[in-house]
Structure 1
């Protein structure tokens, strides 16, 4: 499921896009933001289904080899450990996963089977595949460890696959690292003989509301927040401050003033970490300094309205 840091990243991108376009159609931008997040689930499901497609390709190739007129002994009696992997079986038989694929018409691997074929070829040539096939270990845990290794070493780093996802949906460029972590976590959490169920995208309704509330409050108050920044950076020309830095600072100010249940230190830490991925090398120090100064003034002037102990 999506966490609040990635929600903040999505909101940051939408705020940036709306300010750049100078659009004033808030409802349209909110729908786009929600859709962008919803599409993350598509990517997650597609990657999980990729395991099944690779397994099916191996299964079909085994059948073809067995029908050869001069089939070898190895082809007639193949090692079926890979196609009988219990993790693949759980994913293939998942009702919720299959329903989602059908309901959302996610037939990518049928239309673009060359990507499945590429992963299959690289897998067959890999050391982890050969060691797995040769191993005498036959357990759900061994199957799960192999699938996790397959994902970490072959699927996740595949540049052709990453380019393919980017072509399909430009917003997936920033989502891939998060979704890859989500996929790996899901694999590691699988239990033997327990059906795989597709979880919810959001942890709870509060997280879903947080998306639009943060976006809306930043957009509607960004002029007011700009003044707060200007007051704390008198020696800085506003145009010299990176646009992403300015947006992250405004989002943090918004959380200081408009979200009573979010601890101020959590807010600062979150935006510092986001800046390390999306802004300049020195941005995290600048943002930390500005937010620390703003927070101290808000506390001194009693403008903070935090609920509960330890939230300052």
Structure 2
């Protein structure tokens, strides 16, 4: 699940913190990096468990409604949502249950939020259409939760506030993690039952090594990389730049120099996008031009054995 987009963002955050922190211990900083990455995986599981908790809430409401219908002799309420086939499969998922058993956090601490979100779901057109539909298939049940997640959970300010209060590490993670939750919902298959695999923390050991190498190269070769910046721009003035710009370019150069298989244009584009999120409004255009100039200078001087493609302008 933890992909290179998340890794790059975390390294920008941790490198910036490393220089702002008076105690510059690279081993401690590296441990903090991997702890921060692990928290993103925690969030992934926590958000999946939200679907389970909302299902439990629906059953509580169902029990009350059933008792009322029996008492008043009215039609029994629908059980369709409370026993949604996809939600029941997720509820029984071995990987999710094993993970959540190790966690101190649960949605039991947020009863008011769960109640409010459940009401929002039941009042939505998506829910009403689902209840009235004659399609009782597993695919329809799974699609319902994909729609609910995208419309009522993915962009939910109350949820964002709750997550921010629960962990400072989750401030910048949710937008990316949401995409993995939706991907997971779409990947579920009824035949896999409780053994359906969730996304692993890392797709491969290669990504973990990438994080370690990129972070260490950034810190240990800082003077050299900043010299490259100076050579590419004789008018270079660190005092006129946002410090975050320097950090972002330093990490980008580390990736360009350390990973031969990653095209230069990919690296530039990825860090230009990060600059849009973390630096000044003008930074992305400046960083795009500077990294392109630095890469060309390193190739011309024989210090970089890569070819350069024209980077796509995204600023």
Question: Shorter-chain-normalised TM-score: which range?
Answer: over 0.9
Q: Identify the residue that residue 313 of structure 2 maps to in structure 1.
A: none
Q: Distance in 2 between matches of 1:259 and 1:165?
A: 34
CA distance in 2, matches of 1:105, 1:234: 54
Whether the 8 Å CA contact 2:85–2:141 is kept in 1: the answer is yes
Matched with 1:9 is 9
Tell me the distance in 1 between the aligned counterparts of 2:308 and 2:282: 29
Distance 2:67 2:189 in 1: 36
After superposition, where does 1:291-310 map in structure 2 within 5 Å?
291-306=291-306
Alignment of 1:29-68 (within 5 A): 29-68=29-68
Structure 1 distance, partners of 2:264, 2:100, is: 40
Report the equivalent of 2:27: 27
Q: How many residue pairs were aligned?
A: 307
1:189 aligns with 2:187: yes
* Paired position in structure 2 for 1:78: 77
Q: Indicate the SS of the match to 1:73.
A: coil
Distance 1:246 1:79 in 2: 59
Deviations 1:15-41 (A, max 9, x none): 000111132211111111101110111
C-alpha distance in structure 1 between counterparts of 2:85 and 2:66, whole Å: 23
1:101 aligns with 2:100: yes
**TM-score scaled to structure 1, two decimals?**
0.93
Aligned mates of 1:163, 1:115 — CA distance in 2:
11
Q: Does structure 2 conserve the Cα–Cα contact (< 8 Å) formed by 1:97 and 1:197?
A: no
Residue equivalent to 1:206: 206
- Cα RMSD between the aligned structures? 1.8
Match of 2:175 among 170, 177, 195: 177
TM-score by length of 2: 0.92
Residue pair 1:123, 1:129 contacting (<8 A) in 2 also: yes
Structure 1 pair 209–238 and aligned structure 2 pair: CA distance change class (3 A): same
Q: What do residues 231-288 of structure 1 show as CA deviations (whole Å, max 9, x unaligned)?
A: 2233342121112211111111112222222222221121112212222222221111
1:171 counterpart SS class: helix
**Could you list the per-position Cα deviations for residues 200-253 of structure 1 after superposition, in whole angstroms to 9, with x for gaps in the alignment?**
111110100111211111111112212221222333421211122111111111
Instruction: Give the unaligned 5+ runs of structure 1.
Output: none
> Aligned equivalents of 2:250 and 2:73: distance in 1?
68
Aligned equivalent of 1:114: 112
Q: Distance in 1 between matches of 2:244 and 2:212?
A: 19
> 2:265–2:308: 8 Å Cα contact kept in structure 1?
no
Which stretch of the first structure deviates more once superposed, 217-226 or 174-183?
Answer: 217-226
Instruction: Work out the CA distance in 2 between the residues paired with 1:71 and 1:214.
Output: 67
Structure 1 CA distance, aligned partners of 2:305 and 2:239? Answer: 31
Structure 1 range deviating more: 171-180 or 259-268: 259-268
- Residue number in structure 2 paired with 1:92: 91
Contact 1:262 1:311 in 2 (8 A): no
The CA deviation at 1:191 is 1.4
Assess, with a 3 A threshold, how the Cα gap between structure 1 residues 36 and 55 changes in structure 2: closer, same or farther: same
Distance in 1 (alpha carbons) for counterparts of 2:10 and 2:72 = 54
Structure 2: distance between partners of 1:22 and 1:262: 33
Q: Say if 2:151 is the partner of 1:153.
A: yes
**CA separation of 1:32/1:72 partners in 2, compared to 1, >3 Å: closer, same or farther?**
farther
Cα–Cα, structure 1 residues 236 and 305, in superposed 2: closer, same or farther, change >3 Å?
Answer: closer
Of the three residues 98, 119, 132, the one matched with 2:130 is 132
**Is the CA contact (8 Å cut-off) linking 2:142 and 2:185 kept in structure 1?**
yes
